[in-house]
Amino acid sequence: MGPQIAENIVKYFEDIRNLEILSRLRDAGLQFESDTNDQLPISNVLQGQSIVISGTFAHHSRDEYKAMIEANGGKNVGSVSKKTSFILAGDNMGPEKRKKAEDLGIKLMTEEEFLEMINLVN
């Protein structure tokens, strides 16, 4: 950041009108800080992999699995394609996703296999 940009930032925060706007935004629920722990990867074991989640699960919710995938360097995608690395397959997996995975030769991984892969079970 150069001196001109730094000076403009200081001027912005010296203006009481800008501070009032920021206060109203915060009061309305806008979150200005982020929890850096949520953004840091736990590992890179899934780095470069695109993973589809399908079905219902016993151990964790779909949102929890999505967060685990991202925290371990992977990317959660919604549809099966030739770029899909594997499918995290729970009970009652959609028949169309299963068929497409079979046609493309994409591995179906159980919850237990996935948790073992990211070292959450022994």
- Domains of the chain by range and CATH? 1-33 (no CATH), 36-117 (3.40.50.10190)
- Per-residue pLDDT for 121 more than 60? no
Q: Is the pLDDT of residue 110 over 70?
A: yes
Instruction: Encode pLDDT of 32-52 as tens digits.
Output: 776 555 555 678 899 999 999
Average pLDDT value over all residues in the chain: 89
Largest CA distance in the chain: 62
Q: How many CB atoms lie within 10 A of CB 69?
A: 22
Taking the complete model, does pTM exceed 0.95, yes or no? no
Q: What pLDDT is attached to residue 38?
A: 54
Q: How far is CA 78 from CA 2, 21, 45, 99, in A?
A: 42, 38, 20, 15
Residue-level pLDDT at 103: 96
Closest CA to 88 of 63, 122, 44, 55: 55
- Within the chain, residue ranges assigned H as helices are 3-14, 16-27, 36-39, 62-71, 95-104, 111-117
Instruction: Give the DSSP H/E element, type plus range, for residue 4.
Output: helix 3-14
pLDDT classification of 30: cutoffs 50, 70, 90:
confident
pLDDT tens digits, one per residue of 78-102: 999 999 999 999 999 989 999 999 9
* pLDDT score at 122: 43
